[in-house]
Amino acid sequence: MSNFESQRSPEPSIPVVRNNKSGSRPLNNLTENQQKIIDEVHQAIPNCFKGDAHTFLMTVYKDQRHPLALRLDAAKTAIKYEKPALATIEANVNVSLHEAALAELE
């Protein structure tokens, strides 16, 4: 076992689903078939990460034992799901109000 593996922080016990509207929610409402598939994956790959992709990326970019380049790559990928992108909006300026205000100043 490598030094890194012996110092790893514990993995989340409940997988998490993320979406932009409700944030994070635990996968407590799994169907029996979904849980069976998850159990089969964990049996086939005993040391697999038990969280979702976003949780994995957060684990990487927050762990200061990883090289900075790796942490930056993980952060760049994860930020799309953590912060909404700024969108351009059309500004509708009412010119008639501006002209009326200028007329009052004269």
Which pTM value belongs to this model? Answer: 0.46
Q: What is the pLDDT of residues 63-85, one digit of tens each?
A: 999 999 999 999 999 998 888 88
Tokens in use for 89? Answer: 């909006």
Nearest partner of 59 among 16, 24, 8, judged by Cα: 8
Indicate whether 2 pLDDT > 90: no
Q: How far apart, in whole angstroms, are the C-alpha atoms of residue 1 and residue 21?
A: 41
Averaged pLDDT for residues 79-99: 80
